[in-house]
Structures are given as C-alpha cells and as structure tokens.
Amino acid sequence: ANRTFTASPTTDVVAKWAVVYNPTVLPKPMNVTIDVLVPKGTFQCYIVGTFNNWAGPTAPVDSCKMTLVATNTDGTMIFEKTVYSPDVNKLAYHFCCGPDWSFEQLAPTGDYKYPELNPIVTSWKAIFDPTTTGNVNIVATVPATGSANGVWICGGFNGWSWTTPAAMTKNTDGTYSYSLKNIVSTEFKIYNGTDWGFVEVDALGVEVANRSVTATPGQTITDNITVIGWKAPTALNEVNMNKYRIYTLNRSIVVEGVTSGVNLYDANGRAIQSVKTVGTFNSKNLNPGLYILVIDGASRKVALN
C-alpha cells in the first residue's frame, strides 16, 4: 500500500521484494498456458497481469477473457488461457470473474507468479452474472470553476486507466453525462483532467471515496451526482490579466473584477478556499508560498512573500 511519512526516529524497513532482479538471468520469452480452478457459480473468467501491462479485465476481450474447459462434479470450474510473456521470469497475474475490477478475486488476495500455472481462486469480491446487466447514465453537476477544459470519468469499467480517457459529454444545462453499458456494478470517480491529480474532492478539500453504482437488470437508469470541488485546476486556460487586478495584501491574495467565483489551491493542488462572488475576492490569511487561483474558470499562479 502507499507509504506515509511522519517525522520520527523510526525507519521504514522493506521486508520483502515482489521480484528480485538478477542481471545475470536473461529474459525468457514464451507462450504460457494457465489453467485456473474457480468457485461454483462463476459465469466468466478474465486474466490480467504483466503480460498485458495489467490492462484488464476491460482490455480487448481476446487478450484477457479465458475459456471454460471443464466443470467438475462439485460445480467448480476450470478456465484456460494461453498468454505470451516477453519474460516469464517476471510473469505475475490475477483473475476477475467479470469485465470490471469490482469482480476481482477475493481469496487469495495476492498475485500468482510463474511457474505456478494451475492456481486456485476460492472466492470473488462479487459475482458477475451476464444475465443481470443493465445500462446506467451518470449525470454529474460540477463546479463552474475548474471545469472549463472538460470533465472525465474513470473507474473499474475502464480498468482505472488513462490510456483511453473517458470524456463526459457536456449537456445544455451545464451538467456532464456518461453512459455505462451492460454493467452489473462498478466504482468510479470524476476528474477535471486526465490525471489522478485532478480528482473530485469534498467540501474540506479531501479526495472523495470511490463512488459506486449498480444497474437494474435489463433497464437503463440515471444516477445523478454532485461534485463539490476539484483537487487541482487544469492549467490549460490561463487568466487574461487584462480583465483582473491581482495583488497581495496583509498575508492574503486579492482579485478584483471577478464575475462568477474564485477557487484557491496550494502548490500541491490541495483546495484552500472556494468562493462564489462578483467583484472582489479576498483570500483568508495565508503562509508565504506559491498558490494557484482559478478565476472564473481560468487559472494563474501567484506567489505570496
């Protein structure tokens, strides 16, 4: 998991490496056939791993979907897939029972590694049933500031990947929408840029937990959500300095000429202040440093000495 740092006399200790690099061992490219035993009630099985850069189970089906080869008398099943690895010495892989990370294996929790070619999955986080899928239209109301360059959605439905960003469509009423097709359930978050740093935050500027949605079988439903704020503004739309007067005064930043509102962030993208106003914006008292202003949807960096 992500490490955290707290100033103290203690020292981080690495207990174990996932793979130990040995420069004397040459890469070993080869095709590998993997058979996995899965629990009763499994409908589908997908394999993801280093062989496809963990691009799945939402990657093209032929690259990760496995084939059912046997059903045992106790109802357990065996799925099979042949994959190509540029170096089987580094081959690691994982399983999902549906085309979404929400259906990944629950037990065991870790990854399998070559030469283990007959792994056993004993349980899933959730069971994907293709007969219970439906469509969900996500409709998001987003802040006016910080959204001028677009809004995106990322989640289990696209492998939590920015390889092919899922742009939301702007509607005539200012909301943004995206349609999820043939899903059972999935998790997601909303972003105002194609990078993890542009994630939605709550009123305190804290990144929101994963949102989740469950479809109604055979139907299309609408899920309306509200985004309170953004962790960081996009920097593609710069403030036109001919329209505003920006200056510092008594440990605060002042902006004159505001027409809709101002969002204030620190240099790391953490939200500090958000005000909807017309006229003059006065920030709270600030420590010396570099800050990012989003004024009427456009951004500018300001140094406070």
- Tens of pLDDT, residue by residue over 96-142, are 999 888 899 999 998 999 999 999 999 999 999 999 999 999 999 99
Question: How far is the C-alpha of 44 from the C-alpha of 89, rounded, in Å?
Answer: 28
Could you read off the pLDDT of 23-82 as tens digits, one per residue?
888 889 999 999 999 999 999 999 999 998 887 777 766 789 999 999 999 999 999 999
Please indicate, yes or no, whether the overall pTM of this predicted structure exceeds 0.75.
no
Residue 151 predicted with pLDDT over 90: yes
pLDDT at site 233: 63
Query: How buried is 235 (Cβ within 10 angstroms: 0-12 exposed, 13-18 middle, 19+ buried)?
Result: middle
By C-alpha distance, which of 99, 84, 19, 12 is closest to 53?
84
pLDDT at site 37: 98
Mean model confidence pLDDT for the chain: 88
Q: Tell me if residue 199 falls in helix, strand or coil.
A: strand
The DSSP code sequence of 254-304 is EEEEESSEEEEEETT--EEEEEE-SEEEEPPP--SEEEEEEETTEEEEEEE
Q: What angle do CA 167, 171, 173 make, to 5 degrees?
A: 140
- Residue whose tokens read 């203690």: 10
